[in-house]
Structure 1
Amino acid sequence: MGNNLNQEQLLQEMSEMRAELASYKTEISSLTSQVNSLKQVLGSKGAEPKLQNITSRRRMLKTLAVGAAATGALAFTTANVNKAYAASYDPAANAIEATPAAAGYGGLFQTGGLANIRLAPASTAKFANGTPTDGNSHQAGELYVDSDGTLYYCYSGTGSDSGKWRILAGTSTSGSLILFSNPDRFVQTNYQNGTGYGIGTNPGVVNGFTPLWAPASLSNTTYVKTYPLANKTGQNGQYIPANATGVLGFFSVQAMDPNTNGGFATLWPAGQPFPPTSTTTFNAVPQYTSTQFSCSLGTGGAVCVASRNTVHVVIDIAGYYL
């Protein structure tokens, strides 16, 4: 009697398996139809997809997740959809939309490869003076990389105007400010100790020039001192990396000429013309003056200093831009 029951159970299981196989066959037929439709869509655009031998949903998803040779794992486009095969073409459709669970993320890009994510720059310039030139409406939260690599963020926009944008990074920006834990001294022209004269390169006074604004002689190193700051370490160990774009600090001078009633000193990026400005002013000897400054790093990661009258110079750095 027990054997008869086992046979009945076996027949029941076989019947259920047959039904499940029939269901798989139907699913495979449906997937094959979808793949053939996709081939027709892409084939009409001159691109034959490499989707042969896809016979199961698992294999199809694996192909999408891993990606074929020289092909992204997921490559979707809405801009060039063949409208003949689309039930309803929407020019404002998004290529990918993801809605996370309550404690999840809309997208998580794992580490590996060259970077977690890359925003491809535009092929032609889209922004002029910080405003998009495409004539489209934009919304807050958009990110865009222009053709020169400048990264823009739309911080205000309702989708009915061009929006308001800020530059987050680019060749025309100074970058982010990285402050030292404590300011450090990188230049002091009158410093003396047992190992040498001066902190930093080019010690000694900055000789004062006589003409008031930018004489031709200012191209002469007699009147212009150049102080490299990039890839340098300060007196107390703070380091400015070689790719720093600018510095924030304090510029101090000590008047040295007893025959003067005062003057001004100017600091500017190396390799640039002498600017008709003053970074700090001073009165008669032996006055010290100090002022906060920020300055781009010029040729060789350096700054230049010139003075209306002879001075000693101190440059303390609080941080750098990168």
Structure 2
Amino acid sequence: MSKRHPIIAVTGSSGAGTTTTGRIFSQIFSGESINAAMVSGDSFHRFTRDQMSDLADEGLYGARNHFALAANHVDRLEALFYDYSLTGTGQYREYIHDEDYELIRQGYEPGTFTRWASLAPGTDVLFYEGLHGGISNEEFRIADYVDLLIGVVPIVNLEWIQKIHRDTYHRGYSEEAVVQTIINRMDDYVQDIVPQFSNTHVNFQRVPMVDTSNPFQARDVPTADESLVVIHFRDHSGVDFPYLLQMIPNSHMSRHDTIVIPGTKLPLAMDLIVRPMVLELMAHKQFA
């Protein structure tokens, strides 16, 4: 951790909603005039899209299994966090998504990467959104460098429904291929993704209020107004729960460190909870 060069990370698996959370953070940074270096976990994948397909054909990593640590430059991610915490810069690159039209116009192919480069100097905070921002094991201690670690964790059936819907309707994969991907990823999900949520400062877990017993037959993603969000704080000593209960309609406490809110109030709750934490990091930075 570094008061002078703070790091914020949002961790969660593919389809969990980390991208949406990233947009909320972007709004906070913009509203508070915070110059954030934005880095995506996709950029630390070890292989291009075509290379991953070839490896899948050889029986390695399943189909698009980026959950596996070996399929990612986890060492370079840890180096980025280490370097940024000390110097305020570090090496990163960008992954080219199908919708990255500006990079595609520059000649990059979807499913590939830009070259490694240094972050722009003079940023206020490093913001990372992706799979492995909370890793802490015998080999990698990435979570140790993170000043604010947020987990986005739908219950697993909902996570699968969201992934199946996204990959079939928006990415063109067959349902059978997406289900096989989920199966292939399970060991890595259990071993490498789930343990990160014990390292987070705050977890936002979305729970549907409709039947998701068989996620592989669901045709619709439960909407926000068909869901609740369970928010758990690792350290609740400084949390003003009466204020949150007053500001978030129809919220309630389920445990001494946990508040439950309507799914439609997630952006409001995240702003109320996260914005003060971000501002506290910025205040500490001024006196570092």
Same fold (TM over 0.5): no
Q: State the TM-score, normalized to the length of structure 1.
A: 0.18
* More contact order relative to length (CA 8 Å, sep ≥ 6): 2
Structure showing greater Rg: 1
Structure with the bigger percentage of helix? 2
